Structure 1
Amino acid sequence: MNRLNLHVKDETSRLRAVVLGTARSNGPVPDLKDAYDPKSRQHILAGTYPKIEDIVSEMEAVATVFEKYDVQIFRPKQIEDCNQIFTRDIGFVIDDVFVKANILPDREEELEAIKHVIELVDLNKVIRPPEEVHIEGGDVMLYGEYIFVGTYRGADYADYIIARTNVEGVDWLKDTFPHKKVVSFNLRKDNLDPYNNALHLDCCFQPVGNGKCIIYKGGFLQEEEYQFLVDLFGAENCFEITREEMYHMNSNIFSIAPDVVVSERNFTRLNTWLRSHNITVEEVPYAEISKQEGLLRCSTLPLIRD
C-alpha cells in the first residue's frame, strides 16, 4: 500500500482520501445509562433507536457518492457490537499531521480499528496530546490560517458527557500549531435536551463553498463569538439555521469540493440555498444516523484534500 501524504487545510477543498465509518456491527440498542448524547437517549426512550440494516444502507449511499468522485475510501476494521460510525471523533488531520484524539476512554478501541490507516502515515507526522487534553475532531475546523475550536469553559465541564473538548485542548492546539490562529467558541451543552445541545462545533457551524458558512446562533454561549464568525464570513454569506434544523443536524453536511457537498435529502431549505450558490448537492438518506446526534461530517475523517 502506498504511503499517505496527508494534506488538509480547510473543510471544502477537493477530497482525495477519507476514512468513512462503518455500521456493520453496531451492537444492540444501548442501555440508557450508556447513551453518550441526549439525542440517542431520546430515541432509546422512544423505542426509535436506528436499526443496523438502515444505518448500513445510509453509510453505503455515502460510499457510492465518494466512488463517483474518485475518492479513496478507507474503513475501520470491524469490532463486534461497537458503534464505529463517527470516525471524526477519534482523529483529525491539520496540514500534514494526524492527531489521535483523546476520546471517551471506552471508545479507545475505535482508534485501534483504524491503525491500518495510521500506519500508512509517516511516524513523525502522527501525534497524540497528553492525557489531560480532551479534544475530538468534531470540535476542530480548519479555515485557511484559522483553526476554529468548539469547547466548553464552564466550571462544571466534568458534569457533561457531551463536553468533549476542554480549554486544555484549545491551549494545546495553540502550542502545537503556532503558525495558525486558534479561535475557540464556548458551546451550549445539555445532557438531556438535544434541542439545547451543541455536541461539537460542527453541530452549529461549518464553512461551505467559497467563503460561505452554515451557522446556528443558539449553539453559542457567547454572542460575540457567534458574531466573530458572522463578521468574518459576512452576514450575506451565512446560512442561518433554525433550532429545528440544528436538531436535525443541518450544519453537519460534508464537502467533497467547494462546489460539491453531500447532504441529507430532507434538508430542503439548506439544499435549495446551496444550489442557488451553484453548489452541486449529492443528496443521501441519513436521518437514521442523525438519531445518534451525528451526521455526515461526524462520520468522515478526511486525510487528503487538494
Structure 2
Amino acid sequence: MLKLNVKDETSRLRAVVLGTAKNNGPIPTIEEAYDPKSVEHILAGTYPKEEDMIKEMDAFAAVFEKYDVKVFRPEVIANCNQIFSRDIAFVIDDVFIKSNILPDREKELEAIQYVIDEIAPSKVVKPPKEVHIEGGDVMLWGDYIFVGTYKGEDYPDHITARTNMNGVAFLKELFPHKTVKEFDLVKSKTEARDNALHLDCCFQPVGNDKGIVYKGGFRNIEDYNYLVDLFGENNLFHITRDEMYYMNSNVFSIDKDVVVSERNFTRLNTWLKAQDFIVEAIPYAEIAKQEGLLRCSTLPLIRD
C-alpha cells in the first residue's frame, strides 16, 4: 500500500506521478484547445511535436531517477494528452482527492487507476459535482492551503476558470484544522499573458520561506499583499508579465534545496543559485506552449 504524505511543496520527494507525452494525439483544433496559449501556437503553426515533448519529459524523469524518486507513469491512452497529471488529482496530508475536471479528461484519471488501487479506499475522495477544483490551484504550505479561484460572475463562461468557490468551501470542510486561503486570479480566454490558468502560474513557494510571484496574476491586490506579508518582500522573486507567460513560477521542488527549472529561465535560475538552491535545469519550452510546465506535469504522492 502507498502511505501518502504531502504537507508542502518543497519537502524531500519520495514518490510522484509524472504525466506522459506518448500518443499525444493530433494537433487540436482551435475549438478543442483549453487555453489561449495553445490557441496562439496552433494558429502560428508552432504547436509542440510529440517527439520533442517526450524528450523533455524523459529529461524530467532522469532528474527524478538521479534523486531516487519512485516515479509512476499513466497508462498510455491513444490520442490523448496526458502530460498534465497535476490537473486530475492532488494529495493533501494522506488524502488523495480526485479533481472534477473537464468531462473529456476523465479517462486521464482512469489511466492512473493502478496507482489509486494502492491507496487505502478510505483515503480516496471524489468531491461532489458542483465542486470544481484542479491540482494546479491547490498549494500546500504547512498549516496553510492556498487555493487559486475565480470570483467573477462570468465564471461559467471561462474554460480557463478551473476552481470555484465551492471548491474552496470543500477544502475548508475536509481540512478544518488548516487555514484555507483563496486567491482571486486574473483570467483571459484570448490573451495568454493575462491568464493565470492556475495558482501555480503566478505563485509558488520554494525552499523553507521563499517564493516566486507574479503580482499581475491577482485580481485583488489584497491577495498579493497577503503573500508579501506572509513571506516577506525580500523572500519573494518577482517575475515579469513575459516571465509569467513562459511559466517561470511553474518550477518543481524535489527537496528544500533542489528545484527543477526550465533551462531558459536565466534570471530566475540565477536568483535561485544565489539563494543556495541546487538548480536542475532541463529543456521544457515545448511543453510550456500548452500553458503548463514542470509542476503541472507532476502529482506528488509522498514527501518526507
- Shorter-normalised TM-score: what interval? over 0.9
| SS of match in other structure, 1:32 | coil
The TM-score normalised by the length of structure 1 is 0.99
Show the counterpart of 1:255. Answer: 253
Residue 224 of structure 1, CA deviation: 0.6
The TM-score normalised by the length of structure 2 is 1.00
Residue 65 of structure 1, CA deviation: 0.3
Match for 2:277 among 254, 276, 279?
A: 279
Are 1:91 and 2:89 counterparts?
A: yes
Residue 209 of structure 1, CA deviation: 1.1
* C-alpha distance in structure 1 between counterparts of 2:300 and 2:125, whole Å: 16
Show the counterpart of 2:16. Answer: 18
Residue 264 of structure 1, CA deviation: 0.1
Gaps of 5+ in 2: none
Amino acid of the structure 1 residue aligned with 2:90:
F
Gaps of 5+ in 1: none
Show the counterpart of 1:80. Answer: 78
* C-alpha distance in structure 1 between counterparts of 2:102 and 2:133, whole Å: 10
Amino acid of the structure 2 residue aligned with 1:213:
G
* C-alpha distance in structure 1 between counterparts of 2:265 and 2:207, whole Å: 17
Are 1:169 and 2:167 counterparts?
A: yes
Q: Residues 34-73 of structure 1: matches in 2 within 5 Å?
A: 34-73=32-71
* C-alpha distance in structure 1 between counterparts of 2:84 and 2:176, whole Å: 28
| SS of match in other structure, 2:205 | strand
Show the counterpart of 1:117. Answer: 115
Residue 210 of structure 1, CA deviation: 1.4
Q: CA RMSD in A?
A: 0.4
| SS of match in other structure, 1:301 | strand
Show the counterpart of 1:190. Answer: 188
* C-alpha distance in structure 2 between counterparts of 1:119 and 1:37, whole Å: 32
| SS of match in other structure, 2:15 | strand
Amino acid of the structure 1 residue aligned with 2:242:
E
Show the counterpart of 2:104. Answer: 106
Match for 1:211 among 209, 212, 217?
A: 209
Identity %, equivalent residues: 69
Match for 2:133 among 111, 115, 135?
A: 135
Amino acid of the structure 1 residue aligned with 2:270:
T
| SS of match in other structure, 1:213 | strand
Cα deviation 1:256-275 (Å, max 9, x = unaligned): 00100100000000000000
